[in-house]
Amino acid sequence: MTKIPMSEIINKTISRAMHDSNKVICFGLGVTDPKGVFGTTLNLKKKYGSARVFDVPASENALTGFAIGASLNSSIPILTHQRLDFALLSLDQIINGAAKWLYMFGGELNVPITIRMIIGRGWGQGPTHSQNLQSVFSHIPGLKVVSASTPDNVANLLYSSIFDPNPVIFLEHRWLHNSMGTFPKELKNNELGKCKVLKKGKDITLISLSYMTLECVEAAKILKKFKIEAEIVDLRTISPLDQKTIINSLKKTRRALVADTSNNFCGISSTVASIINQKIDNLKNKVEIVSLPFCPEPTSHQLVKHFYNDRYTIVNKVLKMFEINHKIERDKSIKPDVPGEWFKGPF
């Protein structure tokens, strides 16, 4: 099958959902711009008209309220934010409105909203444009939280989110938009709440989400040279969390490393580590966590290169767990805040 960028897969998925149900509407800042939110909403207005695909004023809180109202009147809204950071202005609507509605009305009224939020880093982004706050939304009962990681899985996850009866926070790391994958012939709408084992192994379980899943895949290739067979579990859905798949893997490997795109204090990585410690008695090592420092993300290139983690961070932690006295050095020619030559940033 022909491989296409993840941004195009997202675009095709939204288009398929809009084709499958005329109740689906798509709106947000920039969805009709020439760049179409990193290419994810290109040509949708041309296909489905301005009544279903439209740009909006810059008022995130009001837009989320509009989405709630639309969903209560039989629409299926897809609200897109070009940054998670911008969506913070709508936390009242998300937490006190969308997340609580089904509970407050005795299970009678659903709020089927998908709120797409772009996360991730890149040169010049700094503290207020590169936050990874998945743990904030995962803490709220009533919200489902999805963390897209691989282009081959994103279509089914997004399609499932759109047609789920609950409000879904759908997180996309901006570096992943240019990763290449395939668009499935048939789309599934039951993929939420399921981890995916991307690679089987017997020696250690690498548990990851978002962009760090790609780093775990590359780390596993390096570890194989040291005769360490890593199993990779991609969380995909953070809430609800598929604990069964995680625990089944740990029963086999008895070692775990959790790789997150955020810091571990009150974070997803800490939660996963806690679950493992509660349910697995005879671990061979303590659960290791690869996460960011507990401070705002820097803008300066000189600070950034010491801030983020990658495959080498993962490999070196695993080698230490296996008491292998060897350290893999980073390739200094690779810039820590630029994923490839194609990236022209900062926006």
Among all residues, which ones are annotated catalytic?
60, 129
Kindly list the distances between the CA atom of residue 1 and the CA atoms of 158, 182, 183, 186, in Å, as whole numbers in the listed order.
20, 7, 8, 13
- CA–centroid distance for 136 within its chain: 13
126-144 burial: b if 16+ Cβ within 10 Å, else e = eeebbbbbbbbbbebebbb
Give 236's contacts (C-beta < 8 A, 6+ positions apart): 146, 147, 148, 149, 153, 157, 191, 194, 195, 196, 209, 242
The span from the CA of 25 to the CA of 99, in Å, is 20
DSSP secondary structure of 126-180? -TTSS---HHHHHTSTT-EEEE---HHHHHHHHHHHHTSSS-EEEEEEGGGGG-E
The residue whose two tokens read 């998925």 is 13
Strands of the sheet with 24-28, listed across from one edge: 53-54, 24-28, 76-81, 114-119, 168-173, 144-147, 237-239
Q: Which of 236, 206, 235, 227 is nearest to 311 (CA)?
A: 206
Residues 301, 302, 303: CA angle, nearest 5 degrees: 90
- Cβ distance 182 to 118 under 8 Å? no
Q: Which sign does the torsion angle of CA 268, 149, 173, 143 carry?
A: negative
The span from the CA of 125 to the CA of 33, in Å, is 21
The span from the CA of 180 to the CA of 207, in Å, is 22
